[in-house]
Amino acid sequence: MATAAAQHTARTPAHDARGGAPDTDAHQRAFDAAIAADERIEPRDWMPDAYRATLIRQIAQHAHSEIIGMQPEANWITRAPSLRRKAILMAKVQDEAGHGLYLYSAAETLGVSRDELLDKLHSGRQKYSSIFNYPTLTWADVGAIGWLVDGAAITNQVPLCRCSYGPYARAMVRICKEESFHQRQGYELLLALSRGTPEQHAMAQDAVNRWWWPSLMMFGPPDDESEHSAQSMAWKIKRHSNDELRQRFVDICVPQAESLGLTLPDPDLKWNEERGHYDFGPIDWDEFWQVIKGNGPCNEQRMAQRRRAHDEGAWVREAAAAYAAKHTHDKEARRG
Ligand code: 3HC
């Protein structure tokens, strides 16, 4: 069996054994062997163009979701009901910005620039998660987002810690730890409301009613309509299908809703002894595709705010670039 170092050499075009033009067949075989052996693909390894393109698409969409996802919750920072709640919410929204940064950095290792990715987001050529096109109408929505949206994100993202592409998998480890804190704070917030006055309980229930179905849509279309799942799973980018993860999430949420004293808004939700899972009612896929096409309740608002924030941040980017250039110039001058 080849050693890890020898395998790495075969996967790295700069070390082509024949010293000439890269032998794509040999590289493809080495890539396939690495995937089969559950090894990580690293930025300098040879990889098929389609694998690179799929990763850029998914990581970019993920990064965009993190930074657009700051908006619905930031809406409540100034109106948080206590200093403690405000501090927690501010930390959470900052974490999402950090997740965006790790993910844009992971995408950059594939040869795209952050400017290019942001440009694609701003011009509508790359997507962000459907979930962030819904409004946050009450304080309880902050709890529902933490419990359900971050809970769905964790269910989807823990398997991504084992993604075949090294930089993405490593970024996900830290992101998942922080998402767990986000999920817990949402659960704790909803529990406080659920055990509060009848009005607070009703507010928590209303938020759960509105966020439940969009949270199930976060996992993507059903498997038979998921364009990329089969190939992404063969490449071990995705480890489970959209429907598998959605089912896992439903199974986790039902007992948690009971502990919260809240009801999930689905009359068809019931335990299926034979399957060993909860059955649930039909998802409105028409709504999902409408939201993705830009016709959700907040699509226009989210994109307008994102473009405005980008334009207003131009001076910060210019100052950072000028500082970096000066730093490099001074360093070179010192070296003589
Ligand atoms: N919102 C928007 N677009 C979605 C979507 C959703 N919820 N689910 C699927 N899509 C899009 C896909 O991107 C694809 O469009 P494209 O070809 O233009 O990229 C199309 O619908 C078909 O879907 P597929 O199932 O074929 O796509 P994937 O195989 O890529 O699976 C996915 C979709 C499960 C979302 C997968 O990309 C994934 O796991 N991504 C990483 C996780 C991620 O992006 N999460 C964002 C959630 S929010 C978040 O993490 C922030 C946190 O703070 C809550």
The answer to whether 106 touches 163, Cβ cutoff 8 Å, is no
pLDDT tens for 266-312 read: 999 999 999 999 999 999 999 999 999 999 999 999 999 999 999 99
Check residue 53 and give its pLDDT. 98
- List of residues 6+ apart from 207 with CB closer than 8 A: 137, 138, 140, 141, 143, 144, 190
Name the helix (H) or strand (E) containing 203. Answer: helix 198-217
Distance 312 CA to ligand 1 centre (A): 28
DSSP state of 278: E
- List of residues 6+ apart from 219 with CB closer than 8 A: 152, 155, 156, 242, 243, 245, 246, 249
Nearest to 181 by CA among 291, 98, 276: 98
Distance 225 CA to ligand 1 centre (A): 13
Pocket test for ligand 1, best of 133, 216, 228, 232 (most atoms within 8 A of CB): 228
What are the backbone angles phi and psi of residue 272, rounded to the nearest 5°?
-110, 105
Distance 304 CA to ligand 1 centre (A): 21
Q: Which residues of the chain have pLDDT under 70?
A: 1-22
Pocket test for ligand 1, best of 56, 57, 61 (most atoms within 8 A of CB): 61
Nearest residue CA, atom 7 of ligand 1?
Answer: 218
Nearest atom of ligand 1 to the alpha carbon of 128: 2
Check residue 6 and give its pLDDT. 44
Query: Which residues, judged by CB distance below 6 Å to any ligand atom, belong to the binding site of ligand 1?
Result: 57-58, 61-62, 65-66, 69, 96, 127, 129-130, 149-150, 153, 156-157, 217-221, 226-229, 232, 238, 242, 292
Whose tokens are 């994100």? That residue is 153
Nearest residue CA, atom 24 of ligand 1?
Answer: 226
Orientation angle between helical segments 150-157 and 242-260, nearest 10 degrees: 140
Please tell me the distance from the alpha carbon of residue 17 to that of residue 182, in angstroms, as a whole number.
49
Q: Please, which contacts does 253-259 make with residues 24 or more away whose CB atoms are closer than 8 Å?
A: 253/148, 253/151, 254/278, 256/147, 256/187, 257/208, 259/191
Distance 129 CA to ligand 1 centre (A): 6
Nearest to 224 by CA among 238, 241, 240: 241
Please tell me the distance from the alpha carbon of residue 51 to that of residue 291, in angstroms, as a whole number.
27
Whose tokens are 């598998």? That residue is 244
Name the helix (H) or strand (E) containing 271. Answer: strand 270-272
Check residue 43 and give its pLDDT. 97
Check residue 241 and give its pLDDT. 97
The answer to whether 160 touches 106, Cβ cutoff 8 Å, is no
DSSP state of 236: T
3-class SS of residue 20? coil
Distance 58 CA to ligand 1 centre (A): 7
Nearest residue CA, atom 33 of ligand 1?
Answer: 220
Pocket test for ligand 1, best of 227, 247, 288 (most atoms within 8 A of CB): 227
Check residue 242 and give its pLDDT. 98
What are the backbone angles phi and psi of residue 34, rounded to the nearest 5°?
-65, -40
